[in-house]
Amino acid sequence: MADNDRNIAMPRDAKILESLLKSMGVEDHEPCVINKFLELWYRYIVDVLTDAQDYSEHAGKSSIDCDDVKIAVQSKANSSFSQPPPREVLLELAHNRNKIPLPKIIVGPGFPFPPDQDTLMCPNYQFAIPNKRPAESIEETEDEEAVNPNPSQEEQTDMQLNLHHQRVSFPLTKRQKD
């Protein structure tokens, strides 16, 4: 009885959608599934009809006709759904790729792992080492400028920002086995 009451209270579109689901073999589903499908359905229809109206206005027509709707549906299908490449193209790509031989497997004890350069475990970082200025240049700058023996906080941060840093990096090349 409750199922019958639910069917009576359902809108026509929801009943159609539920019969479509049953015809596809979906017997049991959450109640919100129909609402989500209806929302998607209505959004698609509004988008298609809006596009059809734009096409009709562009053509100088006062109302939408069947050709405008067909063009809008075709445009929507072309932009929403992509077709896979033809089988012949995929076979040609696979044939070209399979022409390249695989690298030889080096048999050794344990598991065969890929080279270090092909993994995410090799180091790929850089060190920032402060560039120490020679003592002579420090003495020359002290003579040229009057140094405040008690610098303020702002002067201290300015002095720290003026330090030059030297970047050191290591090349990520293949290791030579000795």
Higher pLDDT, 109 or 155: 109
CATH entry 3.90.480.20 includes domain 10-80: no
**C-alpha–C-alpha distance, residues 62 and 53, integer Å:** 9
What would the pLDDT profile of 163-173 be if each residue is shown by its tens digit?
Answer: 555 555 556 66
What would the pLDDT profile of 101-151 be if each residue is shown by its tens digit?
Answer: 887 777 777 887 777 777 777 666 667 777 766 555 555 555 555 555 666
Q: Which residues of 143-177 are buried (b: 16+ CB within 10 A; e: fewer)?
A: eeeeeeeeeeeeeeeeeeeeeeeeeeeeeeeeeee
Mean pLDDT of 4-18: 79
Strand-pairing partners, residue 128, are 167
**C-alpha–C-alpha distance, residues 63 and 61, integer Å:** 6
